[in-house]
Amino acid sequence: MPRKRLIWQIFPLFVFVAAGSLVLAAFYATQTVGQIYQSQRRAELEARAKLIAPVISGALYTESTEDLNELCAQLGAAASARVTIILPSGTVLADSAHDSETMDNHADRPEVIEALSGQSGNSTRYSYTLRTDLTYVALPIYQKEEIAGVVRIAVPEPNIRSAIRSTYVEVATGIALVGLVVAALSLIATRSVTRPVDLLRRGAERFANGDLATRLVVSNTVELGLLANTMNTMAVQLEDRIHTVERHRNELQAVLSSMVEGVIAFDSDERVISLNQAAADIFNVPQEQAVGRVIHEVFRNVDLQRFVASILATGGSQIGSIVLKHRAEEHLQLQGAALHDAQGKRIGGLIVLHDITRLHKLETARRDFVSNVSHELKTPITAIKGYVETLLDGALDDPEASRKFLGIIGKQAERLTALIEDLLRLSRLEQDAEQARLPLEFGPIRDVIERAVQACDPTIAAKRMNVQVTCDPGIRTRINAPLLQLAIENLLENATKYSEEGTNIRIEVNREPQNVLIAITDQGCGIEQEHLTRIFERFYRVDKARSRKLGGTGLGLAIVKHIVRVHGGQVSVDSIPNKGSTFRISLPAGTVAETSANPGSN
């Protein structure tokens, strides 16, 4: 059904009720006036008839018909009415307006019937004789207490009708005028009702559009005023609730976006409800585009899809893990749980993703380390055991073989000692670094380098190598001198170990705005490109046999890396196979203030 405006529902009703009441009142009034008029007229006619009746009664059986007609004519003229004399049989004896001879029997006329029954009779109807509406009043004429006939007088009705009709016209005009005034007043009244309602409607529309700061004008009408007040209160509460919800949402967003762990929420149809930046970064998907899409469209990982399906199927908490291979290998631990709404109905699930790649790497490194250490220790121990058995089996009797075997056993024991010393050194370094027990002091680099060269002097001299140091004595920075010396000794030992006799080693120290750079360059065998990233790992050796033969433990560069890290610096290597290598240690430079604070100590 088409909806109408309130004004068009109330206003026509007002007009209809007002016009209907007016018409009814006018109808009732004109009817009443008509009836009063009629009854007065009849009473008057009756009075006239009562005056005429005795005259006619006296002449009824004494006069001739002609005379009676004449009498009727005279009486009719005097009474301004038609006068008729009717016998009890209904025969018209005389009439003032018509020839009584030609008139039919009047016994069936209602007024005549009533008069013959002894009462005053009246009737208004169309007279076919005079061809007009007439009002009749008939009275019985008594002679010797017997009804001897009926006298009837009649006046034409048109006078009454036209009088009533003219009244109707006046009343109708009045009604029309009053109707117009009523309609105008109704319109004003209706508007005074609908305008505040309209204002409320507009206000409600603004509320619906989210403008909850607006307030409705409180109308004078009690009901509308109450409604406006209630709606205003509702808007305040709604605004308050929206603010609370927004605050909670922002807090949740802040928590989710600051989380290192990825969080993915999804509904029962496996559609993403939300995901935080960490989750988007882990899977390398745009955060906004993922929301509303199905999990398998967004995250192309079968294990994750299976995990989601399993959460939805079981509804319980789950723990799992997946491996991502789109960048470097990433290991993720998944914790899943079902999501429930306020009524406790299950509406989806939630996954928290922990990046355990580092942990995984550490675990792998730990495992590798244990296996490497065992392997490294096993080799010399096996050798020692083998030679001891050989000696016990009889080689002891051969002094020359005994000396040779004991020499080998001694070398293997030395190797074991070196290995254990390096391991202990590494472990102490790690412990000290963890507990921040390695104090750094401002000191000159050159002294450290000179002491390191001195310590390696026997090896360098044995290979007839030449070490050239270029270092400004004023270059100072925050260092742990014994550790830095150890690092440089390790690099120098490597440079001697992996270089031919008589070659040169260059140590250059430069000060840059942010760093102090120590570069140790040799002319040795160099390192293939593929090994460069791995040689700082524990026990990593390019050529195991060569390293072992030269007494290497495979831990030297790992110790260097740790020492440099303790200093807050970095170590790197450049190498060209068969040409030589350059190991660079970059240490954070001290401030100018620190440097100039101690100018004379070089």
Q: What span, in angstroms and rounded, lies between the C-alpha atoms of 462 and 470?
A: 23
User: Contact, 86 vs 95, CB < 8 A?
Assistant: no
User: Contact, 155 vs 48, CB < 8 A?
Assistant: no
Q: What span, in angstroms and rounded, lies between the C-alpha atoms of 310 and 157?
A: 103
Q: What span, in angstroms and rounded, lies between the C-alpha atoms of 108 and 90?
A: 8
User: What is the DSSP secondary structure assignment for residue 81, as one 8-state letter?
Assistant: S
Nearest distance in Å: CB 527, ligand ADP: 5
Each residue 503-522 as x (binds ligand ADP by CB under 6 A) or -, in order, gives -------------------x
Each residue 459-498 as x (binds ligand ADP by CB under 6 A) or -, in order, gives -----------------------------------xx--x
DSSP codes joined into one string, 330-344: EEEEEEEEEEE-TTS
Stretch that binds ligand ADP, among 48-56, 385-393, 448-456, 549-557 (CB under 6 A): 549-557
**Chosen residue from 186, 480, 581, 586 binding ligand ADP by CB under 6 A:** 581
Q: Which residues pair with 348 in a beta bridge?
A: 267, 339
Which CB, 55 or 377, lies closer to ligand ADP?
Answer: 377
Q: What span, in angstroms and rounded, lies between the C-alpha atoms of 136 and 134?
A: 6
Which CB, 295 or 484, lies closer to ligand ADP?
Answer: 484
**Rg of the chain in Å (alpha carbons):** 65
Coil vs helix vs strand at 517: strand
Stretch that binds ligand ADP, among 29-37, 160-168, 349-357, 540-548 (CB under 6 A): 540-548
380 binds ligand ADP (CB under 6 A): no
Q: What span, in angstroms and rounded, lies between the C-alpha atoms of 224 and 235?
A: 16
Stretch that binds ligand ADP, among 9-17, 163-171, 356-364, 546-554 (CB under 6 A): 546-554
Nearest distance in Å: CB 396, ligand ADP: 33
Which CB, 276 or 553, lies closer to ligand ADP?
Answer: 553
Neighbours of 488 (CB within 10 A): 26
Q: What span, in angstroms and rounded, lies between the C-alpha atoms of 127 and 140?
A: 21
Neighbours of 44 (CB within 10 A): 13
Nearest distance in Å: CB 423, ligand ADP: 12
Nearest distance in Å: CB 379, ligand ADP: 13
Nearest distance in Å: CB 490, ligand ADP: 6
Coil vs helix vs strand at 480: coil
Stretch that binds ligand ADP, among 278-286, 347-355, 365-373, 535-543 (CB under 6 A): 535-543
User: What is the DSSP secondary structure assignment for residue 518, as one 8-state letter?
Assistant: E
Each residue 214-243 as x (binds ligand ADP by CB under 6 A) or -, in order, gives ------------------------------
Nearest distance in Å: CB 542, ligand ADP: 3
Stretch that binds ligand ADP, among 339-347, 424-432, 509-517, 539-547 (CB under 6 A): 539-547
Stretch that binds ligand ADP, among 23-31, 146-154, 307-315, 554-562 (CB under 6 A): 554-562
Query: What does the H/E/C string look like for 115-178?
Result: HHCCCCEEEEEEECCCCEEEEEEEEEEEECCEEEEEEEEEEECHHHHHHHHHHHHHHHHHHHHH
Nearest distance in Å: CB 269, ligand ADP: 56
Q: What span, in angstroms and rounded, lies between the C-alpha atoms of 136 and 3?
A: 59
Which CB, 69 or 547, lies closer to ligand ADP?
Answer: 547
Stretch that binds ligand ADP, among 304-312, 358-366, 397-405, 538-546 (CB under 6 A): 538-546
**Chosen residue from 22, 83, 475, 527 binding ligand ADP by CB under 6 A:** 527
Which CB, 391 or 532, lies closer to ligand ADP?
Answer: 532
**Chosen residue from 554, 563, 567, 589 binding ligand ADP by CB under 6 A:** 554
Coil vs helix vs strand at 498: coil
User: Contact, 179 vs 19, CB < 8 A?
Assistant: yes
**Chosen residue from 276, 553, 561, 566 binding ligand ADP by CB under 6 A:** 553
SS3 content of the chain, % helix, strand, coil (to 5): 55, 20, 25
Q: Specify burial of residue 205 (Cβ count, 10 A radius: 0-12, 13-18, 19+).
A: exposed
Stretch that binds ligand ADP, among 37-45, 121-129, 389-397, 545-553 (CB under 6 A): 545-553
Q: Specify burial of residue 225 (Cβ count, 10 A radius: 0-12, 13-18, 19+).
A: middle
Q: What span, in angstroms and rounded, lies between the C-alpha atoms of 505 and 482?
A: 22
**Chosen residue from 76, 196, 443, 524 binding ligand ADP by CB under 6 A:** 524
Which CB, 98 or 531, lies closer to ligand ADP?
Answer: 531
552 binds ligand ADP (CB under 6 A): yes
Which CB, 136 or 583, lies closer to ligand ADP?
Answer: 583
Stretch that binds ligand ADP, among 294-302, 472-480, 509-517, 555-563 (CB under 6 A): 555-563
547 binds ligand ADP (CB under 6 A): yes
Which CB, 443 or 554, lies closer to ligand ADP?
Answer: 554
Residue of 197, 191, 188, 206 whose CA lies nearest to 224: 197
**Chosen residue from 48, 106, 511, 541 binding ligand ADP by CB under 6 A:** 541
Residues near ligand ADP (CB under 6 A) are 494-495, 498, 522, 524-527, 535, 540-543, 547, 552-558, 581
